[in-house]
Amino acid sequence: MLAVIEREKLPVADARAGSSEAWDVLFQRYQLPLYAYVFELVHAEQPSLDIVQETFIAATRHIQSLRDEDRFGSWLFGIAHQKCIQHWRRNGREEPLDADFAETWHSTDEDPSELLVREEQEAEFMKILHHLPPAQREALLLHFVEDFSLDEIARITNTSPGTVKSRLHYAKKTLRKLLQDPTS
């Protein structure tokens, strides 16, 4: 999804020059994907909205540090990544898997992979997704939802491509385990 946006000609140079219209275009293009990404990491509406706002404020302040205008999207997601880390440090990490979810998951006779495909089961999958360690969840979301390459994810998260591969591997492994037994 964002890979397509990355390839479009964005008014980054105009934004760098201080054009409020250019910032409006950039905000319109990135606000929803950025919010979806942040929400899946933070799992709370108001903090997610705040982080998106803080991300755009930081972007306006630091646009001069952007070296490659064609990488505006991954640069912006990198800022959001740092804001999420700051949020986690201020507020702690994740809540444990709740018993209601485990009961709901086990009360069905369907195959977990079939449940994930069905739209009405998306909320159940998101509950599982939130039980991944934040770094694994982030890599999974950036790769499969936002369609960033391993190299782009490495830049966003300030890690190596090997670390991104490892996080994706362990995220998939953990998801498989949670799908089989959400109480573990």
24 alpha carbon, distance to own chain's centre: 22
Q: Do 125 and 171 belong to one domain?
A: yes
- Residue 169 tokens, joined: 């591997």
Q: Do 163 and 104 belong to one domain?
A: yes
- E strand or H helix at 82, and its extent? helix 72-91
How many whole angstroms separate alpha carbon 144 and alpha carbon 122? 15
- E strand or H helix at 52, and its extent? helix 45-62
The per-residue pLDDT for 89 is 82
If you ran DSSP here, which 8-state letter would residue 65 be given?
G
Per-residue pLDDT of 122-134, as tens digits, reads 666 667 777 888 8
Residue 114 has pLDDT above 90, yes or no: no
The per-residue pLDDT for 123 is 61
Q: Do 9 and 56 belong to one domain?
A: yes
CA angle at 77 for the pair 70 and 167, rounded to the nearest 5°: 115
User: Which of 75, 93, 111 corresponds to the end of one domain?
Assistant: 93
Q: Do 31 and 59 belong to one domain?
A: yes
30-to-16, 37, 75, 80, 121 alpha-carbon distances in Å: 16, 11, 12, 11, 27
How many domains does one find in the chain?
A: 2
Q: Do 13 and 61 belong to one domain?
A: yes
Domain membership of residue 16 as a residue range:
1-93
Cβ atoms 178, 101 nearer than 8 A: no
Residue 177 has pLDDT above 70, yes or no: yes
How many whole angstroms separate alpha carbon 86 and alpha carbon 184? 28
- Residue 70 tokens, joined: 């064609």
The per-residue pLDDT for 2 is 46
Q: Do 124 and 89 belong to one domain?
A: no
How many whole angstroms separate alpha carbon 121 and alpha carbon 11? 39
User: Which of 78, 93, 108 corresponds to the end of one domain?
Assistant: 93
Q: Do 102 and 146 belong to one domain?
A: yes
Q: Which CATH number goes with the domain that contains 11?
A: 1.10.1740.10
Q: Do 31 and 42 belong to one domain?
A: yes
Q: Do 86 and 63 belong to one domain?
A: yes
Q: Do 74 and 120 belong to one domain?
A: no
How many whole angstroms separate alpha carbon 78 and alpha carbon 158? 8
170 class by beta-carbon count within 10 Å (0-12 exposed, 13-18 middle, 19+ buried): middle
Q: The pTM is what? A: 0.60
Per-residue pLDDT of 19-54, as tens digits, reads 999 999 999 989 988 998 898 888 888 999 999 999
Note the residue count of the chain: 184
Q: Do 155 and 79 belong to one domain?
A: no
Q: Do 183 and 143 belong to one domain?
A: yes
